[in-house]
A and B are shown apart, each in its own frame.
Chain A
Amino acid sequence: MNNPYFDLLMWARGPGFDIALTILIGGLLLRVVEIVVLSRKKDLAKPKGSPVLQGLKTIFTRSVPRKGLIKEAPVTYIGGYIFHIGFAIAFLFLGAHIALIDDLIGIQWPEANKALIETAAALAVVALIALAWTRITNPVRRALTTFDDWLVWLLSILPLVTGYIAVNRIFGDGTLMMAIHMLSAEALMVAFPFTKLMHAVTFAMARYYNGSIQGRKGAES
């Protein structure tokens, strides 16, 4: 007998994925254009440093925390790093993901071994839980947190957890679990342009502007 969840998986792999990808790309373009069209006035002050170079540089250098800041908010910093790196490893170096990307745009790279990917995914999940904990307990983070933040949290943790369950057949039907994993990733893709997930793209713009404003004045960024 056919697996009853087979059709669902096929939908998630086919039309479901296409719809999600279209919304992701269309939405991203829209959001970026929405920002860029606002433009900014030409700065007439004679530059002392180099705004463009420092802007570009800041896109990278801002990934490193300022001296002494980690101890002020250790969970936010360390949890943040672990989550981002863990998520990136699990997303970019799993064989099946690489095959999918190869299918889409025709580029591929070597996959990582299973133990590394699973450790990365597990650490990313732990980091997300720790970050959620400080969102509740730290008064500053609690006050800043909105529905959007929780939604983004959920959308980030689901693909990690469902992927882990599906790959290791921890419980439930394998086909169903894989379908759920794909659907959770598609939910993330669809929500991406309309939530704070956007920071994963616009951080580069924000850091560039920050660096260029400071750089014009010959100040650090």
Chain B
Amino acid sequence: MTATLERGLNALREQIDAPVASFFTSCVSCGLCAEACIFYKETGDPELTPIHKLDLMRRVWSNEYTLFGRAKSMLGMGHKITEGDLTKWERLVYDSCTMCGRCTLVCPVGNDIAMMIRKMREGMSSSGHAPAELVGAAERHSDYGSPMGKLHTMLAAKIKAAEKETGIPIEMDKAGVDYLVLLSAQEIVEYSDVLPALARIFKKAGVTWTISNEGFEATNVGVQIGNRDIARNLVSMVVGAAEKLGVKGIISPECGHAYQALRWEGPNLIGRSYDFEVVHIIELLDRLAAQGKLKTKGKDHTRLTFHDPCQINRRGGINKEPRRLLDMVADNFIETEDAGTMNWCCGGGGGVGANDRAADLRFKAFNRKKRQFEGVGAEKVVTMCAYCHHTLDEQLELHNMDSIETQGLTEMIGEYLDDEA
């Protein structure tokens, strides 16, 4: 056995706990999880059945954590894992799974398959089987503070532009404010309209905030690759910045996995609970609206629909908030089939969007969204994750549907903010 294979198996062993054992014990191979998975549904390839993607981890569990399996292994009958298996499973664990969690909500015995994919990626990455693009992004984030490299200068320029546009000063590294605002690299590079929107909304609402030079990046490629050490380092940067500035809370921006990483995995990664709150920007905007601190005027009359980011809605529980906000600013909002908790993934999450090898799968998966958008005759799609936004833009263009406009919800609220009220 090679050293890398052994490392991978050890990482898998570390991931096996009571929930995982109960899941594997309970699976009745009914195949219903496949009916939930966008990659299976849009390709028809039975290899892409969710529970099958976990077969290597299942083997480790069966061979080593069950009496029967241990007996079989001792007799030399256990189904061993080889280096070749790990290579073969890269396509299943990374290219064709966004950890969207639809399967998790469908499995009749209650298996949390998406959570196990996250765990299985720990073994894959430890044995050197993570996609090169993600590994590169992790290195850039660790070394330069963002998966897209050193963005400090670009961020400073975008802040300056936002100040100029709004006439509102944005102070970096300001201690004692209410919130530390984080951004995703995508928002800094591609969707920087969010900055002036935030400045105006928070000024109106009387919320004080800052951005830290030491930790402004919200994304966490560590949770996508499945590498706890990287994930912990990246979370620590942000937690350190928040604690140093003594803020009351961190605002998780429009980014799906960042929300998971910061709010739900973060405390477990660093081994302690936070003293500050983590709130998703849409949750906060909804709260401000309920308190009467966020008022809008006018409405968008475009026929628009909403795309739920999996990690924020299905796996993050933020479902009604964006709809209440949309109702404030749109009067021709129509839901697609399965919208809300069971929304279909854009096909770009969980690192799939950055993985070149997955380009074809991503394209096929998007056929589902294409049909849904066509079904409601959408002229515009609003979302609350910059990476979904990016995937929508990419795929709408590839599918010759780029007449459909896209927008982040925060920007949209900014657009209709009542500056006078």
In this complex, what residue of A is CB-closest to B110?
A207
In this complex, what residue of B is CB-closest to A47?
B264
Q: Do residues B342 and A66 form an inter-chain contact, with CB atoms below 8 A?
A: yes
Taking A66-B105, A141-B31, A149-B29 as contacts, is the C-beta distance between A40 and B115 under 8 angstroms? no
Partner of A67, one of B32, B107, B110, B342: B342
CA distance A68 to B343 in the complex (A): 12
Q: Do residues B18 and A36 form an inter-chain contact, with CB atoms below 8 A?
A: yes
In this complex, what residue of B is CB-closest to A197?
B28
Say yes or no for A44: interface residue by CB 8 A criterion: yes
Q: Within 8 Å CB of B341, what residues of A?
A: 219-220
Partner of A199, one of B26, B49, B314: B26
Q: Do residues A203 and B109 form an inter-chain contact, with CB atoms below 8 A?
A: yes
| Segment with Cβ contacts to B, from A107-115, A181-189, A210-218 | A210-218
CA distance A34 to B21 in the complex (A): 8
Q: Do residues A41 and B17 form an inter-chain contact, with CB atoms below 8 A?
A: yes
Taking A44-B273, A73-B35 as contacts, is the C-beta distance between A199 and B112 under 8 angstroms? no
CA distance A44 to B270 in the complex (A): 9
Q: Do residues A45 and B267 form an inter-chain contact, with CB atoms below 8 A?
A: yes
B101-139 CB mask vs A (1 if < 8 Å, else 0) is: 000111111111001000000000000000000000000
CA distance A195 to B313 in the complex (A): 36
Taking A40-B18, A211-B110 as contacts, is the C-beta distance between A199 and B25 under 8 angstroms? yes
Q: Do residues B314 and A220 form an inter-chain contact, with CB atoms below 8 A?
A: yes
A175-202 CB mask vs B (1 if < 8 Å, else 0) is: 0000000000000000000101011001
Partner of A44, one of B49, B51, B68, B268: B268
Say yes or no for B317: interface residue by CB 8 A criterion: yes
Partner of B111, one of A39, A210, A218: A210
Q: Do residues B17 and A39 form an inter-chain contact, with CB atoms below 8 A?
A: yes
- Chain A CB within 10 Å — which of B22, B52, B273 has the most? B22
Say yes or no for B350: interface residue by CB 8 A criterion: no
Say yes or no for B165: interface residue by CB 8 A criterion: no
Contacts of A25-49 to chain B: CB distance below 8 A: 30-31, 34-41, 43-46, 48-49
Taking A45-B267, A76-B30 as contacts, is the C-beta distance between A209 and B18 under 8 angstroms? yes
Taking A44-B267, A203-B110, A219-B316 as contacts, is the C-beta distance between A72 and B272 under 8 angstroms? no
CA distance A206 to B26 in the complex (A): 7
Q: Do residues B104 and A194 form an inter-chain contact, with CB atoms below 8 A?
A: no
> Nearest-CB distance from B372 to chain A (Å)?
13
In this complex, what residue of B is CB-closest to A67?
B342
Q: Within 8 Å CB of B26, what residues of A?
A: 198-199, 202-203, 205-206
Partner of B49, one of A41, A144, A216: A144
Q: Do residues B271 and A219 form an inter-chain contact, with CB atoms below 8 A?
A: no
Q: Which 6 A-B pairs have the closest CB atoms?
A: A207-B110, A218-B317, A219-B317, A44-B267, A144-B29, A209-B19
Of the A-B pairs whose beta carbons lie under 8 Å apart in the complex, a sample of 16, sorted by A's number, is A38-B21, A39-B18, A40-B17, A46-B274, A46-B277, A69-B36, A72-B35, A140-B34, A144-B31, A196-B27, A198-B26, A199-B26, A203-B108, A208-B110, A216-B264, A220-B317
Other than the given A140-B31, A214-B112, 17 more pairs (CB < 8 A) read A35-B21, A38-B65, A40-B18, A43-B268, A44-B268, A45-B267, A46-B273, A63-B108, A66-B342, A80-B108, A140-B34, A144-B51, A149-B29, A202-B22, A202-B109, A217-B317, A220-B319
